[in-house]
Amino acid sequence: MTLNGRQSRWVVTDYAIGNETLLYSSAEIATYGLFEHSVIVFYLKEGQTGEFAFKSHGNISYNIFGTHSDFTSASMNGTSYSRFTYTQGKGTTIVQFSNGIIAYLLDIPTAYSFFAAATTNDPNVTPDRQIFVIGPYLVRSTSVSDGVVTILGDNSNATAIEVYAGANVDTIIWNGKKLPTRCTEYGALTALIDGTEDRKVTLPELSSFRAADSSPEIQATYDDSKWVVADKMVTLSQVKPLTLPVLFSSDYKFYTGAKIYRGYFSGKTATSLNITVQGGAAAGWNAWLNGQSIGYHPGNASLWSTNSLLSFKNITLKEEGNVITVITDYTGHDQTSTGPSGAENPRGILGAQLLSANNTNVAFDQWKIQGNAGGERNIDPVRGPMNEGGLYGERLGWHLPGFDTGDWEDESPVEVGVQGAGIKWFTTTFDLNIDEDLDVPLGVEFGAPTGTIARILLFVNGLVCSITSLMMTLTRLAGINTASIYRTLALKRASQSHQAFSTRPERTR
């Protein structure tokens, strides 16, 4: 037995195959099945040598079909057994033995398109309750009835299909279509499957958008009376906060998605804010004071946390009720290799300190935080807790199918977009007219003018697809589909879009 570099192999011995026993095999075994004959499937890399023997006494004759493989037999010294040796050729070689066993010898690429498909719903599939299929990209399900094998599966290009389903089967139905079928000398069925080379798919334009502002929290008058007060002075995190109170989002049971903070302070002595935010690699954030933008960080792929000193120049302060709003991005939690605490590294604001003109500290009166609707309660078990964050539109279910946008403005994310620092939500619906027998991956490509600093989040039928540059995958969706796009957290113009699919329980602000 010869192994290539970085290759390992199981050597099987005394392997029962129906009424016969495989004494040993240096070739890999994929599986075996029990039909009117026992069928075993071996695989090797093209050009490699395989050897096996059966515990059958006397000479075993054989017939070979398919690819040439230098198949030979010889007596084993001191025994009445015969051993068989071959060099794996390209594709498939079939060997029919006189002891009733049929062996498929597959090269690796062919083995990738081999399926041992169950013909039962019982998860404990026995060797006599399956069929073998070679050729398609994917076999999803199979059934056998009245001499017909029915197969549901996928293929993109025209391809040959070979099915071993037993002597009582003479017809193949592939995805509802009866195929002209030929029976081979060794009992398999072969046919040709049409490809999609000549099939055309026409996609609709995304148009007729409705739009609404999704950042009312920026305004000083916004009512956050139902928000969580962030007033903890200790944390279970191994990471020490840079300032108090603790503003780690997980301490307030918000773990995933965007978070929004509102920090209140009194007086007119503060002139700047020193803030450190940690949302994950490339995460960005924006800050506003009394409704006016005071700065942002666009995110950096090499940084998990970012810091800025934000000036209050040209911002009018009040004796009471000044409010800073910070919206933080979220790009996931860290792996264990990321210091100091791996997946336990906090998300949100690590520290926020007001400074006066002479660089002395100015205290905040209060901090509040808002995250995904329901917090740690998984109020949408269908889409799961990673699907949404704490943005206004997410909390109110704007991305979900059936949400009423009747009082929204008619506005295009391409023609109008977002001006200045803020978040805007655009939604539209579209119909797909794609043949039922096609699975078509769909993509949405975004573009924006040079110099645009923005983040875009796309929901399709209620499910988040990605942020900024993306390709999304959809199965065929009949009828009305909804697309939703938000958002811009920056100082420059950007364009966006959005979509939705089903409803969900209660929404809370």
The CATH 2.102.20.10 domain(s) of the chain lie at: 12-112
- Res. 496: pLDDT tops 50: no
User: For the residues 381-403, what does the mean pLDDT come to?
Assistant: 94
On whether the CB atoms of residues 439 and 487 are closer than 8 A, the answer is: no
Query: What pLDDT, on the 0 to 100 scale, is given for residue 484?
Result: 64
Query: What pLDDT, on the 0 to 100 scale, is given for residue 2?
Result: 78
Q: Tell me which architecture the domain covering 216-370 has in CATH.
A: Sandwich (2.60)
pLDDT tens per residue, range 125-165: 999 999 999 999 999 999 999 999 999 999 989 999 999 99
- How far apart are the C-alpha atoms of 202 and 342, rounded to whole Å? 46
Instruction: Say how many C-beta atoms besides its own lie within 10 A of residue 422's C-beta.
Output: 19
Give me 496's structure tokens: 């966006």
User: For the residues 481-494, what does the mean pLDDT come to?
Assistant: 48
- For residue 441, whether the previous peptide bond is cis, meaning omega lies within 30 degrees of 0, is no
Decide if domain 12-112 falls under CATH 2.102.20.10. yes
User: For the residues 239-267, what does the mean pLDDT come to?
Assistant: 98
Query: What pLDDT, on the 0 to 100 scale, is given for residue 480?
Result: 55
* Cβ neighbours of residue 479 closer than 8 Å, sequence gap 6 or more: 431
pLDDT tens per residue, range 407-456: 999 999 888 888 889 999 999 999 999 988 888 888 888 888 888 888 88
Name the superfamily (CATH) of residues 114-193.
Beta-galactosidase, domain 3 (2.60.390.10)
Query: Minimum mean pLDDT among 331-340, 385-394, 498-507: which range?
Result: 498-507
The CATH 2.60.390.10 domain(s) of the chain lie at: 114-193
The rounded mean pLDDT for the chain is 89
- How far apart are the C-alpha atoms of 96 and 92, rounded to whole Å? 13
- Enter the CATH code of domain 201-214+391-509: 2.60.120.260
Q: Name which of 355, 361, 259 is nearest 310 in CA terms.
A: 355
Q: Where are the beta strands (DSSP E) in 147-304?
A: 148-154, 159-164, 171-174, 177-179, 182-183, 189-193, 210-213, 228-229, 259-265, 270-278, 285-289, 292-297
Query: Minimum mean pLDDT among 35-49, 123-137, 349-363, 470-484: which range?
Result: 470-484
Instruction: Say how many C-beta atoms besides its own lie within 10 A of residue 451's C-beta.
Output: 7
Backbone dihedral angles phi then psi of residue 324, each to the nearest 5 degrees: -100, 130
User: For the residues 294-323, what does the mean pLDDT come to?
Assistant: 96
Q: Which of the two residues, 456 and 259, has the higher pLDDT score?
A: 259
On whether the CB atoms of residues 426 and 210 are closer than 8 A, the answer is: yes
- How far apart are the C-alpha atoms of 278 and 349, rounded to whole Å? 6
Give me 399's structure tokens: 């991305």
- How far apart are the C-alpha atoms of 486 and 437, rounded to whole Å? 33
On whether the CB atoms of residues 92 and 109 are closer than 8 A, the answer is: no
User: For the residues 220-242, what does the mean pLDDT come to?
Assistant: 98
- Res. 10: pLDDT tops 90: no
Instruction: Say how many C-beta atoms besides its own lie within 10 A of residue 447's C-beta.
Output: 8
Task: Output b/e per residue, 166-182; b: 16+ Cβ within 10 A.
Answer: beebebbebbeeebebe
H or E element, residue 3: none
Query: Minimum mean pLDDT among 103-107, 350-354, 382-386: which range?
Result: 382-386
Q: Name which of 75, 398, 371 is nearest 250 in CA terms.
A: 371
On whether the CB atoms of residues 508 and 371 are closer than 8 A, the answer is: no
Q: Which of the two residues, 254 and 418, has the higher pLDDT score?
A: 254
Query: What pLDDT, on the 0 to 100 scale, is given for residue 112?
Result: 97
Give me 130's structure tokens: 């399956």
Q: Which of the two residues, 289 and 420, has the higher pLDDT score?
A: 289
- Res. 489: pLDDT tops 50: no
Q: What is the pTM for the complete model shown?
A: 0.75
On whether the CB atoms of residues 12 and 25 are closer than 8 A, the answer is: yes
Helix, strand, coil shares, percent, the chain, to 5: 5, 40, 55
Angle at 333 between CA 464 and CA 493, to 5 degrees: 50
The CATH 2.60.120.260 domain(s) of the chain lie at: 201-214+391-509, 216-370
Query: What pLDDT, on the 0 to 100 scale, is given for residue 417?
Result: 83
Q: Which of the two residues, 36 and 450, has the higher pLDDT score?
A: 36
Give me 120's structure tokens: 């039962």
